[in-house]
Amino acid sequence: MIPASFDYHQPKTLSEAIGLLSRLGEGAKVLSGGQSLLPLLKLRLGSAGHLVDIGRVPGLEDIREEGGFLKIGGRARESDLEHSDVVRKKYPILADTAAVIADPLVRNMATVGGNLAHGDPANDHPATMLALGATVVATGSKGERTIPIDQFFTGLFETALAHDEILTEIRIPVPPPKSGGAYVKLERKVGDFATAGAAAQLTLGAGGEVVRAGIGLTNAGMTPVRAAAAEKFLQGKKLDEATVRQAARLAADAADPSPDRRGSVEYKREMARVLTARALKRAASRAQGA
């Protein structure tokens, strides 16, 4: 677990960082919290000629509500998210998610942006951001652009980010009243990737009917999975037992997991169903309480 050699760069500004990425080309990787990148390098499963550490770039760590969005800086740490008052109060689905990523020591370093930018469908934030309908802000040599989360994950370990772009912000629409969300993860032990995970974000109408449903699944395919059929099915319905069961079934149908030591395809798909049902129930109860 000794990495091959690499050059290390520590830019002090965002433009310096982007300049380095442009200049160094494909051999350069952005180092943020290092949660995924450092193990890959140490196991020699990946290599990088250059690491561009954005740890000293200012202004990327804020978590705040502004202009109808919750804005999470690209380098906000998981522990910041976990302990943020606004997140705990209004975005419990994010607090749920942060709390089941790795362990507290890793969460002190790991970043929310990195969790998305790595493009790993086994990571936890992608499902949650899908459920929340988030937008990703990318900054590169051509300036800033926004990418809807639905278009962000393009393949296994691949995202819509260009080589010289850095994920600088995540924007989540401020949820209307009677909204609630939950993330439920089944893991073999703390710190493991999910055997299965389900994120659900609901907004209810005056009569308790579903106005908006967002459902994302973790580790259920080559890219993070949005359970669109289940979301559509829930539209306008009240969340009784049969409705939840049917939505969970539809969500499981969207899962296309791979077998590994966490479980068989059958088990993982069934767990997507069980966990979606649990996430929906918890989200609904939070929405009603909100």
Partner 1 sequence: MSAPTPKTTPEVGGMGHSIKRKEDPRFLRGRGNYVDDIQLPGMLHMDIARSPYAHAKIKKIDTEKAMKVPGVLAVITGATLEQYKLHWMPTLMSDTQMVLPTDRVMYQAQEVAAVIATDRYAAADGAAAVEVEYEPLPVVVDPFKALEPGAPVLRTDKPGKKDNRIWHWEAGDRAATEKAFREADVVVKEQIYIPRIHVASIETCGCVADFDRVTGKLTVFMTTQAPHAIRTVFALVAGHVGLSEEKIRIVSPDIGGGFGGKVPVYPGYVIAVAASVVIGKPVKWVEDRMENLQADSFARDYHMTAELAAKKDGTMTAVRIKTLADHGYADAAANPSKFPAGLFSICTGSYDLKNAFCEVDGVYTNKPPGGVAYRCSFRVTEAVHAIERITDRLAQELKMDPAALRMKNFIPKEKFPYHSALGWEYDSGDYPAALKKAMDLIGYDALRKEQVEKRAKGELMGIGISSFTEIVGAGPSKHFDILGIKMFDSCELRVHPTGKAIARFGTKSQGQGHETTYAQIIAEELGIPAAHVQVEEGDTDTAPYGLGTYASRSTPTAGAAGAIAARKVRDKAKKIAAHLLEVSEDDLVWEPGKFSVKGAPQKAKTIQEIALAAYTNHPQGMEAGLEAVDYYDPPNLTFPFGSYICVVDIDRGTGEVKIRRFVAVDDCGNIINPMIVDGQIHGGLTMGMAPALLEEISYDEQGNNQAGSFMDYLVPTAMETPSWETAKTTTPSPHHPFGAKGVGESATVGAPPAIVNAVVDALAHLGVKHLDIPITPEKVWRILKEKGVAE
Interface positions with partner 1 (CB under 8 A): 1-2, 4-5, 43-44, 103, 186, 188-192, 195, 261, 263-264, 267, 270-271, 274-275, 278
Alpha-carbon distance values, 259 to 12, 127, 262 (Å) = 43, 19, 7
Q: How far is the CB of 267 from partner 1 (least distance, A)?
A: 5
Q: How far is the CB of 139 from partner 1 (least distance, A)?
A: 33
Residue with smaller CB distance to partner 1, 103 or 144: 103
Residue with smaller CB distance to partner 1, 84 or 195: 195
**Dihedral angle computed from the Cα positions of residues 277, 82, 262 and 254, in that order, rounded to the nearest 10 degrees:** 40
Token pair listed for 261: 């030591």
Q: How far is the CB of 134 from partner 1 (least distance, A)?
A: 28
**6 φ, ψ to 5°?**
-150, 160
Q: How far is the CB of 171 from partner 1 (least distance, A)?
A: 32
Pairing of strands 158-159, 153-155: antiparallel
Q: How far apart are CA 198 and CA 196, in angstroms?
A: 7
Q: How far apart are CA 12 and CA 163, in angstroms?
A: 19
Residue with smaller CB distance to partner 1, 174 or 274: 274
The single residue listed with the structure tokens 């200012």 is: 58
Residue with smaller CB distance to partner 1, 65 or 103: 103
User: CB–CB of 285/195 below 8 Å?
Assistant: no
Letter for the amino acid at 273?
R
Q: How far apart are CA 218 and CA 133, in angstroms?
A: 15
Q: In what order do the strands lie in the sheet with 135-140?
A: 63-66, 69-73, 166-173, 135-140, 143-148
User: CB–CB of 130/149 below 8 Å?
Assistant: yes
Q: How far is the CB of 102 from partner 1 (least distance, A)?
A: 11
Residue 78 CB-density burial (10 A; 0-12 exposed, 13-18 middle, 19+ buried): buried
Residue with smaller CB distance to partner 1, 1 or 206: 1
Residue with smaller CB distance to partner 1, 26 or 189: 189
Residue with smaller CB distance to partner 1, 23 or 44: 44
Token pair listed for 148: 């809807």
Residue with smaller CB distance to partner 1, 156 or 265: 265
Nearest CA to 18 among 144, 110, 108?
A: 144
